[in-house]
Amino acid sequence: MSNKDNLKIVLELLSHVEEAKKAIIAKDRFLARPYIESAEKRVLTIKLVHPQSHVMHRIASTIQRDVLDNLYANLEAMEAQK
């Protein structure tokens, strides 16, 4: 894949993360969950499609570890309050 395609994939992933953050801030757990799950699927796709691409794999792992885990924790806390 070209750098342009890789950048597009990462930007789509970050877009879903941003929408999930907005939904969590708005306390809309029903909107947040699909965005988080979609971002998680994109991370897994990057890891499967780009196993030899150290940069793409590292980007996906960092987003999964630092961002998605935090979003899931916020979502679970929000659901526990209901």
Question: Residue 5 has what pLDDT?
Answer: 82
Tell me which amino acid residue 73 is. A
Question: DSSP secondary structure string, the chain?
Answer: --HHHHHHHHHHHHHHHHHHHHHHHTT-HHHHHHHHHHHHHHHHHHHHH-TT-HHHHHHHHHIIIIIIHHHHHHHHHHHHH-
Distance of CA 64 to the CA centre of its chain: 6
Question: Residue 32 has what pLDDT?
Answer: 92
Question: Residue 1 has what pLDDT?
Answer: 67
Which of the residues in the chain have pLDDT under 50? none
Question: Residue 4 has what pLDDT?
Answer: 84
Question: Residue 6 has what pLDDT?
Answer: 81
